[in-house]
Amino acid sequence: MNASSVTEGARAFWLAEPGRGEIRREALAPPGPGEVLVRARRSGISRGTESLVFLGRVPRSLHIGMRCPFQRGDFPAPVKYGYASVGVVEAGAAALIGRRVFCLHPHQDRYVVPEDAVVPVPDAVPDRRAVLAANMETALNGLWDAAPLLGDRIAVVGAGTVGALMAALAAGIPGAAVEIVDIDPSRAALATALGCRFAVPARAAGDADLVIHASGSTAGLATALALAGLEATVLEMSWYGDAMVPVPLGEAFHARRLRLVASQVGMVAPARRSRRSRRQRLEQALGLLAAPVFDHLLSGESAFEELPQAMARLAGDPAGALCHGITYG
C-alpha cells in the first residue's frame, strides 16, 4: 500500500451532542515507525457504558478516568468513544500485515495506532465473536477479584453481556452451581445455553457463597444483597454513571457480615497484578472466546453507516440487547 492511498482519510462515529451521533470524515496520516494501519472489519457496542456516554451521563469527576484509548474530544460531547474494534493490518510492521487484530479503538473504518496497541486474534475466534474481547476482559478481571472456589453456589444478577460472560466462565469451575437471576424470563434460554440455572428474582435460590451484580440497576443491587449467604461476597460489576445509588445496608447486611466489593477493568485485579500485564489479560480474554458458546451473546448487527441510529435505539430501548455488532463494508 502506498502513502497516497493511506492518506485518503477515514470515517469515524462521533457523539455530536448528548443523544445524537454522526459519522464524520477525518484525515489519516500514513503509519510511521512502530505504527500500523488497520482496516476495521467489525466493532462492538459495549451497550452499558456506551449508552451512558451517548446520553451524556459521564460524571464530571470521571471525565479523565473514563477516557478510552484513542478517544478524541471530551465528555460530554463532542467525543469519539468506543473500545471494541476488529480489523486487518494493511500497512506497518511486516510481521503484522494481513493479520486480524483486536484494538481498543472507537468505531472507525480505518485507523493508525502504535503496533503494540493491537493484539492478534486467534484463528479459532471469528470476527463477530472477537468484538467481545473488551467485555471478556472485564469478566475475567471480575472473576480474579471475586476469587470463586470449587463447589461454590454463585448467583449472577443481571444477564447482560458482562454478567452472562462471568456466569459462563464460573459455570466451568468444578462443582460450582451458577444461577443467573434476571427480571426478563426470556433470558432463561441464554442461561441454559451457558450451562447455568435461571430464576427471576422472586424465585432465586439465595444463600449464595458469591453474588455477582451486573444489572446496572439499584433494584438489582438490592436483589444481590438479599441473595448473599452468611459472610458471602457481593461483587459489584455495574457502573451507574452520574446516578446516585441507594444501597440497602440495613436489615441483615451487618448480621450476615457481607462483603461488598467493587471491580473495575481499568487496573488488573490485585490477585494477578504482579504477574499479568494488561496486554496479557487481553490476550487471555481473546483466547477464551474460542468457545462457540459465546455466540449466544451476539444479539444483532448494523452497518457502520447506520451506527448513529443504532446507538440511539440501543440507548433508548435496551431490552433484549447484548452485544450489538457493527459491520464495515
Quote the pLDDT of residue 248. Answer: 85
Q: What is the pLDDT of residues 145-164, one digit of tens each?
A: 999 999 999 999 999 999 99
Question: Taking residues 203-223, what's their average pLDDT?
Answer: 96
Instruction: Please provide the distance, in angstroms rounded to a whole number, between the alpha carbons at the two ends of the chain.
Output: 19
Please check the confidence at residue 45 and state whether its pLDDT lies above 50.
yes
Question: Taking residues 178-183, what's their average pLDDT?
Answer: 98
In Å, what is the CA distance from 9 to each residue of 23, 30, 37, 110?
13, 10, 11, 8
Neighbours of 63 (CB within 10 A): 13
Question: Could you write out the three-class secondary structure of the chain?
Answer: CCHHHHCCCEEEEEEEECCEEEEEEECCCCCCCCEEEEEEEEEEECHHHHHHHHCCCCCHHHCCCCCCCCCEECCCCCEECCCCEEEEEEECCCCCCCCEEEECCCCECEEEEEHHHEEECCCCCCHHHHCCHHHHHHHHHHHHHHCCCCCCEEEEECCCHHHHHHHHHHHCCCCCEEEEECCCHHHHHHHHHCCCEEECHHHCCCCEEEEEECCCCHHHHHHHHHHEEEEEEEEECCCCCCCCCCCCCCCCCCCCCCEEEECCCCCCCCCCCCCCCHHHHHHHHHHHCCCHHHHHHEEEEEEHHHHHHHHHHHHHCCCCCCEEEEECC
The pLDDT confidence band at residue 270, using thresholds 50, 70 and 90, is very high
Mean pLDDT lowest for which of 250-254, 272-276, 280-284? 250-254
Mean pLDDT, rounded, of the chain: 94
Quote the pLDDT of residue 92. Answer: 96
Q: What is the pTM of this model?
A: 0.92
Please check the confidence at residue 5 and state whether its pLDDT lies above 70.
no
Q: Is the peptide bond before 31 cis (omega within 30 degrees of 0)?
A: no
* Position 108, amino acid: Q
* Position 265, amino acid: V
| Domains of the chain, each with CATH number or no CATH | 3-132+289-327 (3.90.180.10), 138-262 (3.40.50.720)
Question: Taking residues 86-104, what's their average pLDDT?
Answer: 97
Q: What is the pLDDT of residues 102-121, one digit of tens each?
A: 999 999 999 999 999 999 99
Please check the confidence at residue 2 and state whether its pLDDT lies above 90.
no
Q: For residue 312, with 0-12 CB atoms within 10 Å meaning exposed, 13-18 middle and 19 or more buried, which class applies? A: middle
Please check the confidence at residue 3 and state whether its pLDDT lies above 60.
no
Quote the pLDDT of residue 167. Answer: 98
